[in-house]
Structure 1
Amino acid sequence: MKKFLSDIYKVNDKILDEYISYWAEYSIPKKTIMTESGKTERYIYFVEEGIQKSYYLNEGKEHIMFFAYNPSFSGVMESFLTQTPSRYYLETITDSKLLRISYKKHSELIQKNRELETLFRKITEQFLLGIIERHHHLMAFNTETRFKEFTKRSPHLLNMILQKDIASYLRIDPTNFSKLINTIKL
């Protein structure tokens, strides 16, 4: 985690070590809902092992927004940052080993230290750029291009996540996704 954060923005070691010391280990089995729609996200997570998905339900159907896996943050960020009820679910796909910190402690530490505040501004900027890029891919690329981009960025997920979940994430009909995966050489 320290290397991951330091690669984003270099913070004084003493400050960063203190901040990381407040993150607690948290293990959770696969197919467990970590955050429910309508509940407020009280923690931000750092993924050490495992995969999680964030999704919303529409007429009982899951629409996947993102997958989180090592090394990355996980959680329903807008609920965490605003401390308002989530509109989404966060669920483990596999057994997951995480680190987590509460909103209260996280806020206290970044308010106390300008370097941590800058680090998390940069993390938020990266998160926003990722959302913009994803939106661009969904709007500008056809299904084949979206699939190819996904396999370039995260090829390991093809064997770890159900095809229906990847199809939902890429906004591809599951039947078309099945045909696509069988026709494109990876």
Structure 2
Amino acid sequence: MMISDASHKLLFKQTVDGIYSLSDEDFDAFFELFKPFSAKRKEILTYSGTVEKNLFYIIDGLHRMYYSDENGREATILFSYSGNFGGVLDSMMSQRASIFFYEAISPSVFLRASFQQIELLIQTRPAIEILLRKGLISAFSGVLERLVELQCFSSEEKFRQLLKRSPHILQIVPHKYLANYIGIDASNFSKLINSVQI
């Protein structure tokens, strides 16, 4: 699904404004760094062991970040979808190798900007750095909340919290990935859905 450039820009601006409002000049300079890109279903955008080079902005599609151990066991860390920034942010900001994979679960249309270009822009437009910092603080807060869920919540409580954060997630994320995110076997996920009044 392709959307017009004007629609891309509007969606992008709504997301940016939700984090930190930029002047028109700063916003235009930031937006100009982002170029259209597409990915196929199941395409890996960032591999574990590589440094994240890009900041992604999702126009259409569903992505997930996950960890995979030496035995092939996976742990889904987060989902990103239309109207979200994405990528392996800790690797991008530190320029260290990622321990995560970043994958397009569905065919995707997005915008991406190289972190190298963003860093250059920050030197002349400090408001962009404030935007990134506020975005990272929000992401970090989400990670801390998720840690509490993992350590203290039952599977049902985790599922309820996920639905509270993202009520539409059942319609867009395959259930096997939701089960993995919650930390239960996929075969038990339908039982969990039936036991929770949505």
Shorter-chain TM-score range? over 0.9
Q: TM-score, normalised by structure 2?
A: 0.89
Quote the residue 1:13 is aligned against. 24
Distance in structure 2 (CA, Å) of the matches to 1:28 and 1:112:
32
Quote the residue 1:100 is aligned against. 112
Report the 3-state secondary structure (helix = DSSP H, G, I; strand = E; otherwise coil) of the residue aligned with 1:60: coil
Residue 26 in structure 1 maps to residue 41 in structure 2: no
Quote the residue 2:185 is aligned against. 173
Distance in structure 2 (CA, Å) of the matches to 1:172 and 1:110:
42
Distance in structure 1 (CA, Å) of the matches to 2:22 and 2:74:
39
Output one character per residue of 1:111-143: Cα deviation in whole Å (capped at 9) or x when no partner: 221111111111111011111111111112111
Tell which deviates more after alignment, 38-47 or 153-162: 153-162
Q: Among residues 121, 133, 136, which one is paired with 1:121 in the alignment?
A: 133
Residue 39 in structure 1 maps to residue 50 in structure 2: yes
Distance in structure 2 (CA, Å) of the matches to 1:139 and 1:25:
39
Q: Among residues 94, 102, 113, which one is paired with 1:90 in the alignment?
A: 102
Distance in structure 2 (CA, Å) of the matches to 1:19 and 1:28:
22
Report the count of equivalent residues: 186
Identity %: 34
Distance in structure 2 (CA, Å) of the matches to 1:103 and 1:52:
19
In structure 1, give the amino acid aligned to 2:104: T
Distance in structure 1 (CA, Å) of the matches to 2:175 and 2:51:
29
Deviation, structure 1 residue 183: 2.1
Q: TM-score, normalised by structure 1?
A: 0.94
1:58-69 matches, cutoff 5 A: 58=69, 59-69=71-81
Quote the residue 1:74 is aligned against. 86
Q: Which runs of 5+ in 1 are unaligned?
A: none
Deviation, structure 1 residue 89: 0.5
Distance in structure 2 (CA, Å) of the matches to 1:157 and 1:53:
12
Q: Which runs of 5+ in 2 are unaligned?
A: 1-11
Residue 52 in structure 1 maps to residue 59 in structure 2: no
Deviation, structure 1 residue 75: 0.6
Deviation, structure 1 residue 7: 2.3
Distance in structure 2 (CA, Å) of the matches to 1:51 and 1:161:
7
Report the 3-state secondary structure (helix = DSSP H, G, I; strand = E; otherwise coil) of the residue aligned with 2:168: helix
